[in-house]
A and B are shown apart, each in its own frame.
Chain A
């Protein structure tokens, strides 16, 4: 994709910063913020593939996150297996669900897909809340203490940080790889205008389904990482609407349809959330909704393309000035 040249130095600095962050900020609190940031960035980057690049706005991605979170812990609860064993099964289930929702709704243009994702995610949440097989309203728990490394149950946050960082690196690498290939051009063309894209030979439904499948896989993995790390999941933390909304807000704040937008969004939103939670405690839990609402209004009013778009625009303006001066 022809775009404003990305500063390689910036990418290297970002990678280096993320690598050394837990070594510089050594407290448990900082590590916890770091892990939360990475998890949010993974989930938002996964959403970004179908919502940001392909423009198919899912407001129910928690269904994939929830499946990713529940399946590993269900495997542990039922068979005593390592939660890792449930991760591939969760991916397969998420792919099946993506096909079930995507095939009938992605054929249509308009908001059918968005509406279907909200409805299905809420339906699953309600079902899970009353289904004792998956712990009903109480949810599921993982191993209290690790029986070995394969349980991925660590006392320190540090191993989680680097595992999450590796997964984030993988999501970004896959996204960067498709961005400059035919698939990347096709998803952007679909977002810009389905009818025109189709007239140029773009197989619209197939491309949208591929984007949804890829997005569902990574969102499911994010859910699994969450469950493995916290060792617990309930209907709200797995399938809650806030899980979906957070992915959308983070991607939109940073820049939906850009590689680093979700990362930037998470970098702003997660510390902000942590700070308000710490200052206000449980009494400030409703503030999250106010922050989300405020961000939606600000983005819609001032910068629909998100902060990355603002950055590209300012940089282009500066270059034009430098060109004029030269």
Chain B
């Protein structure tokens, strides 16, 4: 049985159909990428998977348990954790306190939650007593990942968690995601940076205008004509020139 399964998920806003019959089946320990142009429906699909918004149609299950209309906190308790495209850290709280909010999900006792959060913060290289407000973009993104990790998720949804980083920071972030994956966490990653997709994932779904237009290994999808047309573009060729 797949760990996370989304079947024919659609989401409409009034007459606009943001996601149309998208399906995803994830096995334990997989790492899958979602790519596509802006407005393709990736984030909306992501929000449905995370319980942030209920789908208009379709079904979402985790380990066979129906979570289709469950709220985000129920998804988190079931084992689905997410980061946000624009980091949503708790600004006035310290790094450790931010992570403790996540740790309290599985550890009601303060000392246990603190110990768990402390271990995770040390993985990220952040200073525990630093206020979230004072962190730059890379720090905030790391903090978000740490916070989700503290909830002990079975599936982690990373929404452009590596965007906006310098090449050096990107390599560190890729290493961090790998480290998390090695602990057995299943990961879905929405990303525009193809280097991340090519390096981290074994399977990719390509969204365009609310539809999944292709899926396969990263090597397969980058060669797919539809994907090249809709998203990747192709290198300039002499015959493309209009004289």
Contacts and interface: CB of A to CB of B under 8 A. Distances in A.
Shortest 8 CB-CB distances between A and B: which pairs?
A201-B76, A192-B90, A196-B88, A201-B105, A198-B72, A182-B104, A189-B101, A200-B102
Contacts of A1: 93, 97
A196 B97 CA distance: 14
B73 interface: yes
Given A182-B108, A199-B52, A199-B82, 20 more contacts: A1-B93, A2-B129, A188-B92, A188-B97, A192-B92, A195-B88, A196-B89, A199-B50, A199-B72, A199-B76, A199-B84, A200-B81, A200-B102, A200-B105, A200-B147, A200-B148, A200-B150, A201-B76, A201-B105, A202-B101
A280 B74 CA distance: 58
A203 interface: yes
Interface residues of B, number: 34
B92 A198 contact: no
15 contacts: A2-B94, A188-B93, A188-B97, A189-B90, A189-B101, A192-B93, A193-B88, A195-B84, A197-B101, A199-B73, A199-B75, A200-B102, A200-B105, A200-B147, A200-B148
B59 to A, nearest CB: 21
A203 B88 contact: no
Nearest to A188: B93
Nearest to A1: B97
A196 B90 contact: yes
Contacts, number: 77
Interface string B25-58: 0000000000000000000000000101000000
A185 B100 contact: yes
A131 to B, nearest CB: 41
A198 B73 contact: yes
A267 to B, nearest CB: 24
B96 interface: yes
Interface string B122-134: 0000001100000
Interface of A: 1-2, 180-182, 185-186, 188-189, 192-193, 195-204
A2 B108 contact: no
B101 A200 contact: yes
Contacts of A202: 73, 101
A192 to B, nearest CB: 4
B151 A200 contact: yes
Nearest to A185: B101
Given A192-B92, A193-B90, A2 B97 contact: yes
B101 A186 contact: yes
Contact of A182 (B72, B88, B110, B148): B110
